[in-house]
Structure 1
Amino acid sequence: MLSLQALVDDPALELRVLEAGEPGALEARALWLHNTELPDPSTYVREGEIVLTNGLWLAEATPAEFVANVCRAGAAGMVFGLREQTPRTPAELIEACREAGLPLLEISIRVPFTAVTEAAAAIYTEQRQGALVGLVRRGNALAAAISHGAGASGVLSVLRREHELPLAVVDRMARQLAAAGVDLTADQLRLAAEGLARRPPPLEIDLGEAGRASMFLVSAVGDIDAALLCLRPITELSRAEQDALEQTARFLSLEVAKQQAVQAIEQRYASELLDMILSGPQRAAEVPDRLRAFGVDPDGALAVCTLAFADGETLPGIAEAVTDFFLDNSTAVVVAAGSQDVVAVLPWRQPADELPELAGRLRDAVRKRFPGHRPVVGLGEPAASAADLRRPLVQSREACQVLRRRQGGRPDSDVATIGQLITYRLLLGLHDAETLTGFVNRVLGPLRAHDQRHSGELEHTLRVFLEYDAQFGATAAALFVHVNTLRNRLAKVAELTGLDVARTVDRVDLFLALEADAMRQSG
């Protein structure tokens, strides 16, 4: 590194320190050299440059004035070159540098300034060569870590051999892919993901108690998919550290792309498993092999847990939080994330009454990961084997939906088995898709045919009427129609379907048909 001390250490330059300046000034990084004889060189001297001068300005400015101008430019120090006319450095110049805290060196009359420039160029060349060698060596180590399957953690360990920095890799789904020297909280992961979502992403983000972190972007599949976070502000990182972080981020792109591909395949396989289970006998033969692929024994008893947030918000990283919980408990599991919930299928050898205790611990783990949100867990009855999974899957999802709809639930009521929450949706869910489709078509088919021919709104009117608990006035107001118009439409519904909304039994059939249709579309 170019500095005043590095020049002093070169005996060929015959430099002598007259004033050391502020503590550490001699060792501070210098930008370059600037040779000047102007009385006021402040306009041309860049901050961090070393000023070389023979003192030809002494006829036009005092040493104090010249030093003040040099300091105003932010120079790193001064080298005064002796000559026959000035065989000694003026005492006034030494005193002015002492008062200003500016380092002052004296160079022998036998050594020209060009020798100082050549020495500085040699220092820069050696430094650049060292940096390039380090870049190649680090690149080889990073490539080896990836090719040997060390993962993102292995990539970070390569970087930390040279620079002991607190590091983490976070993707835009708020997942911590790797960390070294730091363990981010759920809130900090969320802040990092929010930073990644900004366009353009910032160079630094505020992580609350952890302070400001530098962000080095990782592009996996043509977009910014993750970031290498260094929990230090960019201003506290040396140029060498920044270069190393940028190089590591480029190698992480390969690892992040691989991880995302694996996760996408796993999620697709897990989601397909749910489709197989819900399809009933048609795809039942495929379920055991799919369970085995995730390490779950299809021949033993199985349990199904469904988790969602009561506030209805779908947060990134929920599936990972559920997976981590079961892995921490050494339990093989299939975790499938949907648009509204996360389903976990796992082996279950314990008594059924112990399942709520496990679900409670799952709820607590997710709540800790996502503070400020209320997770709820629905449970189905354990299945004897893979062939019996459809019933507990429907039960657990229905129980979860009921828990989500509850307002102001206590923590001890955020976990429930379907036996505690019998609802009409459970009864509908126990039927296969073909049966439900036939029921919906028989009840709603005539209404839809009429609406299509006449651009009518009979089905919508019926839906709103039932949502407003069969109150004519409230329904008419919501539809912006007269009550008589509403009555005429409901009379037409009765004519087409043979079901009269004035009769409780008929109204139940209409309501169930609408709900069954909604379940088919969402399922």
Structure 2
Amino acid sequence: MNLGTLLNAPDLGLELRVGTDVADRPITRVFTATLRDPRRFLTGGELVLSGMEWWPKPEDSDAFVAGLAQAGVTALGAGTAEAGGILPQHVVDACERHKLPLLVVPVHISFATISERVILGLAAERATPNLDRHRRLVAAVTSGGGLSALVGAGATEVGADCWVISAAGRVVEGTDELRDVPALVKHALRSERMPVVAGGFSVYATTTKQRPLGWFLVVAGDHRTWPTERQEVAAEFATLVELERSRLDEARRIENRAAQPLLRLVLSEQATPNEIQSRLSATELDGTEIVTVSASGTAASVLDDLLSAFDGPALVGTVDDEVFGLLGTPHPIAADLKDMVRTMQPALGRGGLVLGLGRCPDATGLRAAVLQARYARKLAERSPGRVAVMAGDEVASHLLLLAAVPDELRRSFRNQIIGPLSAYDETHKSELTRTLRVFLEHSGSWTQAAAELHVHVNTLRYRITRITELTGRDPGRFGDRVDLYLALADESEHRPP
């Protein structure tokens, strides 16, 4: 397949904006870019599809296009739907500067449509020696039977049990039970080349997108011992799995259109419960218990993939660069999410993924649950490591309240209350901060605190007197004790691991 095949397809309406004599440039695969720098996912010859989210400024366009040119891609297909059909001139200039062919994708054409055309075209070229098998596999895709029909047909053509698994360690579809899926995923994510053999199974990458939560095709047996014809069928099968995935993604994208206006309304302090209920009634979440998720360090597509592993309706949207998810389920999901995030961690590279969770029984508590998820996520961001999941009901309520306070105000409060104490300990190598912490943990019991500190009660009384002088707060008074406790709690959250 080459660029000319796509440019000459009238139903696609692609416009060649940059480049001449490019019709014969070959396309090896189609790739949807969802990050600023996709180079580590490119091997050369790709048609790269990307929206406008990474090109707000000329320098952004230049860096993105330069990376594609360096990777040897065939062309860039620019989607303009999010920009109202307008292609910025600096994108055109960058492609001309780096001699990269640029195609403009009409606003009414989805990336899924282009991906399907390329994938089916490439599959047809590869399948010429196995034309009957190719026709049966494609028929499974076009029959409307979904992924289940495709996996069944693929298993028949390959002659072995097959499964589609996610990078989060879940079986999406399969012909039999598959054990220890996380181990297969971790092996695949750490492999430089695909397919890879692990535990008696051949694992194929299916995704043509650079995103952590791609799918994998698992086939029972070692592909290295198979005849060439069978290897080609398995490779085509993996490609068609990604085509089915792109269709599901397109359907989810349409469903998620309801997420952003709902979330903006929920986050608005002026919204009434009736207004929220009215908006929620237009979704499948109406009448269900709702788990709310706040995410950082990730794209909305990653959270969408994670929530799709659970039974129940889900919506994912972005509001002011913050990603939120809503999942209708009465069941707790924190433990499963933690397992999934740990499994797919190798796919994150240097990036991170932090999730905070909340819960509400109905629309009346939705705003509080969304804020609970946000504050739980802010607390989780202080955890050591690149990935973390924290549910609001796992956290003491006073810590959630602290997380709701702006960083600058919280830092000022902490420094004002216990800053002098920390400075004194640093200068005199004393333990007044620890003494205060132990004293408060024992609810002001002189005997119990002195015993844990291994000091005489009189020594403890002297230290508490010194603490009062330095902080201006008396740990014996309830109001002062609350101030000191909150300042110490916030200091603990900011203490380096």
TM range (shorter): 0.3 to 0.5
Q: Which one scores higher on RCO, CA 8 angstroms, separation ≥ 6?
A: 2
Largest Rg, 1 or 2: 1
Q: TM-score, normalised by structure 2?
A: 0.43
Q: TM-score, normalised by structure 1?
A: 0.41
